[in-house]
Amino acid sequence: MMRVFVIAEHRMGELNPISIEMLNLANALKGDGTSEAVVIGKDINAYAEELAKYADVVWKIEDNSLENYNPELYIDVLMQLFANNKPDVVLIGNTSCGSEYAPYLAVKLNAPIATDVVAVNATDGMKVSRYLFQGKLMTDLKLKDAETYVLTIRQGVFKEGVEVNGEIKDAGIKPSKEPARKFVQYIEPEVGEVDISQAEVIVAVGRGIDDESNIELAEELAELLGGVVAGSRPVIDNGWLPKDRQVGISGKIVKPKLYLALGISGAFQHVMGMKDSELIIAVNKDPEAPIFGVAHYGIVGDIFEVFPELVEKLNEMKG
Amino acid sequence: MNIIVLAKHAPDPESEINVASDGKSVDERGLVFDINDWDRYAIEEAIRIKEEKGGEVVVVGVGSKCEDTLRKCLAMGADRAIKIPVDTSLDAYQTAEAIKEAIKDEKFDLILAGMMSQDLNNAQVGVLLAAMLDLPFATAVSVISSIEDNSLTVARELEGGYNEEVTLPTPCLITVQSGINEPRYVSIMGIKRAKTKEMKEVSVSPTTSTLEVEKMYLPPVKKAEMIEGDPSEIANKLIEILKDRGLI
Ligand SMILES: Cc1cc2nc3c(=O)[nH]c(=O)nc-3n(C[C@H](O)[C@H](O)[C@H](O)COP(=O)(O)OP(=O)(O)OC[C@H]3O[C@@H](n4cnc5c(N)ncnc54)[C@H](O)[C@@H]3O)c2cc1C
Ligand SMILES: Cc1cc2nc3c(=O)[nH]c(=O)nc-3n(C[C@H](O)[C@H](O)[C@H](O)COP(=O)(O)OP(=O)(O)OC[C@H]3O[C@@H](n4cnc5c(N)ncnc54)[C@H](O)[C@@H]3O)c2cc1C
């Protein structure tokens, strides 16, 4: 009987939806076994109730010292829980925090691990699918036969599921030690002069823009379209645009009426920040670029050829 | 402060990526290898700490072809390199085990790794090594804000532009996020100096693999409607679409 554990994630008073998505996956995998959520923190009753809709069992691990995520304490309490409740599979969100402690937990559980997983087949051993090269290739992996597997799950993949309305249990577990690493504080995002999440038109540039001096072209186009310029992470890392212009998982989520993606490959972390835009037009010289998987219209070509022509025509129209 | 940096010699995702004829691996022919992008930031961070606090930077690479990347790190300013020559591709567990074995006689205050590799995107090796060595750790570090005698304060990147600040005692392991610094270019002087620096080979026998690749393939994608033509035709079609939508 398979026991599939899901480690819920929450921060600053909000349950991360990946927690429910993982329970959907757990319910699909468990067969005649159980889906079991684990929620760790302080004041976690509301999370436990939400999770119980989708889990057969919810384990609460509650303590004042668990108020903020700490990987050492998470591993400490999880190892205590798993000592008496042996998991067949442990699912963890492939988030900043989840991807941090999952490999450590895998070592302590002596479990094979696969990260950023988008499909799971547990009928004949443990097989998973995941992307490579930031979305350009995909691979099916078979993990070595083991008693327990650890998988981190990509968000937004397992959205469909059914309610199972399970029970909530207090695990009665407390951390057994002081962690070496200490949480100090959260640091809020910087606020700049433009809030790209409110913009109706965004001209977004990626590494394909090639040089800081070319940002001007994007600015000209944005101005003609009444929009703002934003960028993918490398553009911000290079200091070509300020941090508050970054679109993506570690930047801003945007939903403009028009999103022009110029020289952006379409890595998952970027796409998560713009996929709900009303109209997405992408220009990329690589016909296989993953961005064409989310764009409504695509142009295979050099931005420096398509761009100036468009700017000129728009200028003509304005007279 | 003595620092060990892990640097992977990795294929550039912008090079030509094709599945090999076995259907299970990447065709090496189109690939251009260089230092893994995240590791460029890691080595730069290590050199900056050394420049400020003194100590030694040792760079470690796993793979029979990793020498170019190790030389590059030496040219940037690392003091010496440890090469672990293995021919087969190792999984993340095996890679971490090999590094653990190769550095067992090293004295260090800090291990710096990249947050993930640019080819396989596993984001595992650093943390696996921390677990094997029982070290305190933090991933996706975007700033090392202070370095005291026995501790570090760092910010690690969360979602949505948030960071969390944490402190860690040394020795510890950190994986760095891109953008933590501006990596320097390799100078001619640096390349010259690198030639005289120590590159030690340490052979280790790999542990057994924890995974098997069954298949590698191009991901299925829903395709956008493609606009074709010369730049002028494309511009006209774009303007039509924008007009239809009331955007201009
Ligand atoms: C934890 C984590 C968080 C992240 N958060 C974010 C985030 O919030 N936002 C984000 O964007 N990324 C984020 N990333 C990085 C992400 O994985 C990708 O590395 C990044 O999105 C790639 O940016 P890019 O598409 O601009 O560059 P690349 O992937 O290098 O793509 C450049 C593209 O430009 C094309 N090109 C080049 N020249 C031309 C030309 N002349 N004309 C037309 N096309 C051209 C190329 O074909 C290529 O497709 C994150 C990564 C991690 C690990
Ligand atoms: C035959 C075979 C095929 C494989 N194919 C796949 C596959 O298709 N998909 C898949 O997901 N995994 C695959 N793996 C597993 C993959 O090879 C390992 O995960 C890999 O060795 C670990 O590196 P990574 O790229 O995952 O590193 P990550 O964990 O992503 O790297 C994080 C950091 O660890 C350090 N680091 C990583 N590797 C090295 C190194 N070699 N030298 C020095 N420092 C390093 C760097 O600082 C790097 O920034 C395969 C393994 C085998 C045995």
CATH 3.40.50.620 range(s) for chain A read: 3-170
Each residue's pLDDT tens digit, A100-141: 999 999 999 999 999 999 999 999 999 999 999 999 999 999
**B120 C-alpha to ligand 2 centroid (Å):** 6
Does B228 map to a domain?
A: no
Q: What 3-state DSSP class applies to A38?
A: strand
pLDDT at A1: 86
Each residue's pLDDT tens digit, B127-137: 999 999 999 99
Cβ(A138)–Cβ(B217) below 8 Å? yes
**Helices of type H across chain A:** 18-29, 45-52, 71-84, 98-109, 215-224, 233-237, 268-271, 303-318
Q: Which CATH architecture has domain A196-317?
A: 3-Layer(aba) Sandwich (3.40)
Counting from 1 in the atom list of ligand 1, the atom nearest the Cα of A249 is: 8
Each residue's pLDDT tens digit, B95-114: 999 999 999 999 999 999 99
pLDDT at B113: 98
CA–CA gap between residue A187 and residue B165 (Å, rounded): 7
- C-alpha neighbours within 13 Å on the C-beta side of residue A279: 17
Window A:156-215, CB contacts with B under 8 Å: 179-190, 201
CA–CA gap between residue A173 and residue A295 (Å, rounded): 48
pLDDT at B220: 83
Query: Does the structure show a pLDDT above 80 at B222?
Result: no
Contact B178 CB / ligand 2 (< 6 Å): no
pLDDT at A190: 86
Question: Mean pLDDT, consecutive 10-residue segments, chain A of 319 residues?
Answer: 97 97 98 98 98 98 98 98 98 98 98 98 96 95 98 97 97 98 96 92 97 95 96 96 96 97 97 97 95 96 92 89
The pTM (predicted TM-score) of the whole model is 0.95
Contact A250 CB / ligand 1 (< 6 Å): yes
> What's the domain range around B174?
3-201
Does B162 map to a domain?
A: yes
CA–CA gap between residue A24 and residue B25 (Å, rounded): 31
pLDDT at A209: 95
**B80 C-alpha to ligand 1 centroid (Å):** 32
CATH number for the domain formed by residue range(s) A3-170: 3.40.50.620
Q: What 3-state DSSP class applies to A106?
A: helix
CA–CA gap between residue B211 and residue B215 (Å, rounded): 12
CA–CA gap between residue A244 and residue A246 (Å, rounded): 6
Q: Nearest 5°: phi and psi at A220?
A: -65, -45
Does B220 map to a domain?
A: no
Closest to A107 (Cβ–Cβ): which among B128, B140, B163? B128
**Which protein residue has the closest C-alpha to ligand 2 atom 50?**
B91
CATH 3.40.50.1220 range(s) for chain A read: 196-317
Q: Using most ligand atoms within 8 A of CB, pick from B8, B72, B99, B116 the residue to mutate for ligand 2.
A: B8
Other Cβ atoms less than 10 A from the Cβ of B146: the count is 10
